[in-house]
A and B are shown apart, each in its own frame.
Chain A
Amino acid sequence: MASTPLLSVEDLKLHYRSSRGVVKAVDGLSFDIQRNEALVVLGESGCGKSSLAKTLLRILPRNVHHCSGRVMLDGTDIMALDEERFRRDVRWLRIAMVMQASMNALNPVVRVGEQVAEPLRVLRKWDRQRAMRKAAEVFELVGISTDFLQRYPFELSGGMRQRVVLAMALITDPELVILDEPTSALDVLTQASIMNVLKRIKRERGTSFMLITHDVATSSEIADRVALMYAGQLVEISTAGEFFRHPAHPYSKLLMASVPRLRQEQRPAHIPGQPPNLLAPPDGCRFADRCPSRFQRCAEDPKMFRLGYRRQVRCWLFAEGGKRP
């Protein structure tokens, strides 16, 4: 079982410069993704989920202050590649992405077929016909009529556009697809059908996914493993079954308790307080202020404690000799 993971991230950091100081959006993340595995990265808004996705593909904004860490893709450190090599060899061919706000992710003046076929034409130097044929294939795969190849983005509905963006991410048969809130702007029916498309692609093509979302319910559809982020750090990473049924970290428990369920007697709980300011995150555990099981050691910064097979929790409760709940 000790095969090299497809993607392994070690101590990834991304800090932004802002007028009020350095924002630590991603602060020392480590995780891995196996082949044909879907990792769901959960977290509240502003916890650094999207920054994580951008760091992996190196599409950093202008105000980057610090970016470091190791990202091993199938054994090679892609963070060490120079910009041009990274562009030619990694972007889209090996790691593709469905961006947040995909409504605006398509160039308004270029036909969607062209845009979907573009990575093949540019990166693989395919001729037009061949690339368009492949585009038609992925259009069918994600469930859009190939008639839409000739359309412009504004002629498509939101759900259609989302599928086009998905098709664009799949056209190069990448090993890993990062999906950043792919369905959060869509209605429930469209969400469900897109999740079904994702599941089918995972089954048929063995693609790995990293699904970034705040939507616990939808993510449970596809998740093999779940990584929960809080204030720029991972607080828990475990298999989906364990996470959804027996969350370990106090934040995970509260999060799961806040998900509304059908025919639920009590009202969904909410977590009191606000996430800490990423400009100056508190010393010690970052969740301590909102944590119901807070105790003395929480003033120290906890590390990730191993808790069973491929399961880690950042909480003193799970430290050797720590206070068990």
Chain B
Amino acid sequence: MTDARAVASGAPTGRGLTRDLRRLTGFTLKRLIALFLTILVGVYLTILIANMGGRVDDLRMVQIRGDVSETVRADPAFHDMSSEERNELIQRRVDLEVERLRLDQPFIVRSFDYLYRAMMLDLGRAEQMHSDRGAREVYWIIVERLPATLLLFGTANFLVFFVSVFVALSLSRRYGSPMDRTMIALAPTSAAPGWFYGIFLILFFAFVIPVLPSGGMVQAPPPESSLAYAADVIRHMLLPVAAMFLSQIFISIYSWRTFFLIHSSEDYVEMARAKGLPSNLIERRYILRPTLSPIVTSFLLMLIGLWSGAIILEQVFNWPGLGTLLFQAIGHRDTPVIIGSVVIFAYLLALTVFLLDILYAILDPRIRIGPN
């Protein structure tokens, strides 16, 4: 019953668009449910593993008893007690503490409680660490550090990503040129990690020619005006960003160049050339657009991947980010902070994957419409 001519003359994309939108919504909902289940399972597994399936409770019982005995014995108010009375007091206090921490309940019951709280981002209190503002909540300890990490790694990644994609695109047009060969030759330099370059950069630009700060995020005391503060943060960011940029840019250009070379010999690209389309349109619509899904994927996965690489680099540059935090937490054996970082990481990962799924669907009609 469809009038074909109406489509052609009336609203040319109207119907195609509604159909796409409807499928997109269905697709999004399905993915959202699947991802929620994934996080649930992931976080629960983290809880089980971090608590060694409940074995950590025994250690904590021992620790509580030890701590309580220590306090009671050290307190002069209880010095004249008989040992029986004192043991009773210790037992009472231990029971109280055990009840407070609900260690008397079976672990499996509590694990679901932990799960619920973790899912609600109620990460509990740190055992020893506190945030720069003095808060003991793990959530605040982590959230306070998040912007520093995001700022540094976000900047470096955006730079590496966009520079490499555009350089690669232009290199793929000049296959075999001296510039192309130089980039290929430089690619192996990326074998060294960012912090390795960082050490040399600090040596040169902070000590041999002292023009840039060797570490930290802002000078002490921090500048008053927000403009001067921003300028100072940028000054502190120069070296770590340069270190990351140096360590990734060449391999990144190299791999994108190969990627674009492969995709610019697709039949439809040749067809587009034969059709007399100008080369910038071919690049945009026939090379970049069909390959946007893998490009976006690698971009977001690179963002996630740097989380783990951040520990050493942040240490080298004394950057107050999540890497430094995790390093300190491991040093202090502050389990809630470690678990909290993992939970937040899981959330970020899931969020990224979700974003990717949606982007895939928007970018690639083969996924959006798919075989029903």
Contact = CB atoms under 8 A, between A and B. Distances in A.
A149 B12 contact: yes
Interface in B143-199: 175-176
A150 B7 contact: yes
B274 A59 contact: yes
B365 A107 contact: no
Given A87-B276, A87-B278, A109-B364, A59 B285 contact: no
Contacts, number: 108
Nearest to A123: B276
Contacts of B270: 59, 99
A109 B289 contact: yes
Contact of B16 (A59, A111, A123, A136): A111
Most chain B C-beta atoms within 10 Å of own C-beta, residue among A59, A61, A107, A145: A107
Contacts of A145: 4
B287 to A, nearest CB: 10
A110 interface: yes
A62 B175 contact: yes
A160 interface: no
A133 interface: yes
Interface size class of A (residues with CB under 8 A): 35 or more
Given A113-B12, A128-B12, A118 B363 contact: no
Contacts of B286: 107
B175 A149 contact: no
B290 A107 contact: yes
Nearest to A95: B274
A129 interface: yes
Nearest to A53: B274
Interface string A74-102: 00000000000001101111001101011
Q: Is the interface of B mostly helix, strand, loop or mixed?
A: helix
Interface size class of B (residues with CB under 8 A): 35 or more
A221 interface: no
Contacts of A92: 274-276
A108 to B, nearest CB: 6
A31 interface: no
Contact of B4 (A57, A87, A136): A136
Given A93-B276, A105-B271, A129 B9 contact: yes
A91 B271 CA distance: 11
Contacts of A155: 369
Interface in B326-372: 363-366, 369
Contacts of A150: 7, 12-13, 15-16
Given A111-B16, A122-B281, A136-B5, A106 B268 contact: yes
Interface of A: 57, 59, 61-62, 87-88, 90-93, 96-97, 99, 101-102, 104-111, 113, 118-119, 122-123, 128-129, 132-133, 135-136, 145-147, 149-152, 154-155, 165, 168
Interface of B: 2, 4-5, 7-9, 12-13, 15-16, 175-176, 265-268, 270-278, 281, 285-286, 289-290, 292, 363-366, 369
Given A88-B276, A113-B12, 19 more contacts: A57-B274, A62-B176, A91-B274, A96-B275, A99-B270, A104-B266, A106-B271, A107-B268, A109-B289, A109-B292, A109-B365, A111-B16, A118-B277, A119-B276, A133-B9, A136-B7, A146-B4, A147-B4, A147-B7
A-B pairs, 6 with minimum CB distance: A91-B276, A136-B8, A150-B16, A146-B4, A104-B267, A152-B365
